[in-house]
Amino acid sequence: MRGWTHFLSGIAMASFFPELLADLRMGILLPVITGVFAYLPDFIDFKFRRFLWKRDYEIDPAPWDPKRKLAPMKINIKDFDLDKRWQLYYIEGTVVSVIEEGNDYIRFRVNDGTGEAIVEAIKEDYERLKRIYGEIKPGLKVRLPGYIDTGDGGIKWVVADAPHPQLIASTIARAIDEAYETGKLVTVKVYNIRMAADVYRRFLIHYDSPTRTIKVYMGPLVTTGGLPIKGTDVPEYRRVGEARTRYPFVKTYPRPTIIDAFNGPEIGYHKIVLPDGREVVEEKFIPWHRGFSHSFTAGAIAALILLPILWLIGYPHYLQLAIAAMLGYWMHVIEDQLGFMGSNLFPPLTKERIPGLMLGPNIYTGMNFATSWLMVSLIIWNINRFTLPRPIPLPDPLLLLILAAPSIIIYGYGVIDSIRFRKLYRAYWKRMAALEALEEQEQVGGL
């Protein structure tokens, strides 16, 4: 659910207490705390835990220029290193000599004053180079985005407008293997790729568990809203990166991980035991989220901290406000439980996230609106029944039914949508299990 929906839930909880509403009418604004409490779980996670979380691997496909806060960043040839392989940078220098040129490729030497490197451009990248510079000849000054790679003659510079996805695939595969071998949670931070004009290079991580392969697809440039920009797809030869893992893994949420605008995510990997006894590595998306902060326990503790503070400052309705704040906090936990990810609901009794109800998986917008509207309805309903004379002269049950009708209808559709999705989901898992069995048979020579 979106932030305001949670915030509204806290306000709605406050409206159930006539004493708090009376205070608000008199300009005593302390009950605002209930909204704050209802938003607190996300506030803790996104404003604190996210930044303090330990990262085991950092994948930066296109490091930023520190001043412009954009990719690509300039690299000197003397700093070429295989540790920087496949990352997007740019070099600036003068063409020294052309080694060879064909119909759709060219190899030449460039000197940037710090050293000399072999540069290679093929297919679409060669065509683009020709479009920009015309004939490549000695003495020509060039600015070439691309990445370091290895070839027959050692390290070379490949002209490209995006990093090679192999970097991401290889690192994730390594993290999965490490998680399996150590039994610990391994967190990988994947940075996004921000280019000039505030557009982002989209890439997609796909977990192909039957073949134990991580596939990363480099996509087009997109706006912050995710709108692809025409003509910015990367050439096929550097579009896909693949890396195999030594150990099996699963991804609970059956959709690829897409990274584009805003911040790149942290992805955790940890070993779990499946019901059939197999040990596999499971992806835990943004592992710092939906932990203790999103639990009923945390809500109760937060209210217990608030209670004496309110009492000490002499607020007469301290008990009602503390209870309303706790209910607001709990509403956040309940609302999040309607989705996929779920939360760790009762620590220390529970240790991991308990999967959500998957309500309305294809109508996220509708579910969010339905919940917001339900909270608005509750606020109106409560204010009406605690105000004399009643502004809306209708019986309480009828008024609530009229107000909440849109939410009830959308929730109803959300349940139907969920049933449909679960059917597909089961079919997907059956298919994946069959593919995995097939793959294992292939590996041991059974087929």
Residue written as token pair 């683009």: 128
Nearer to other proteins, 43 or 296 (CB): 43
Which DSSP category does 31 fall into? G
Residue written as token pair 């490091």: 63
Nearest to 326 by CA among 36, 49, 5, 43: 36
Report the C-alpha gap between 15 and 8 in whole angstroms.
11
Report the C-alpha gap between 381 and 18 in whole angstroms.
12
Q: For Cα atoms 71, 75, 79, give the angle at the middle one, nearest 5 degrees.
A: 140
Nearer to other proteins, 68 or 246 (CB): 68
Nearer to other proteins, 64 or 292 (CB): 64
Residues 276-305 that bind other proteins (CB under 8 A): none
Q: Among residues 133, 292, 369, 421, which is the contact residue for other proteins, using CB under 8 A?
A: 369
Question: Does 5 interact with other proteins (rule: CB under 8 A)?
Answer: yes
Question: Does 362 interact with other proteins (rule: CB under 8 A)?
Answer: no
Nearer to other proteins, 75 or 136 (CB): 75
Strand extents, DSSP E, 160-209: 186-190, 193-195, 199-208
CB 130 within 8 A of CB 160: no
Q: Among residues 97, 150, 182, 263, which is the contact residue for other proteins, using CB under 8 A?
A: 263
Question: Does 364 interact with other proteins (rule: CB under 8 A)?
Answer: yes
Size of the site for other proteins (CB under 8 A): 56
Q: Cα 3 from chain centroid? A: 16
Nearer to other proteins, 364 or 425 (CB): 364
Q: How far is the CB of 334 from other proteins (least distance, A)?
A: 18
Nearer to other proteins, 109 or 189 (CB): 189
Q: Among residues 25, 184, 423, 431, which is the contact residue for other proteins, using CB under 8 A?
A: 25
Report the C-alpha gap between 83 and 86 in whole angstroms.
9
Number of H helices, E strands in the chain: 10, 16
Which residues would be at the binding site for other proteins (CB under 8 A)?
2-5, 7, 11, 21, 24-25, 27, 29, 31-32, 35-36, 39, 43, 46-48, 51-54, 60, 64, 67-70, 191, 196-199, 223-227, 229, 262-264, 364-365, 368-369, 372-373, 380, 383-384, 387, 391-392
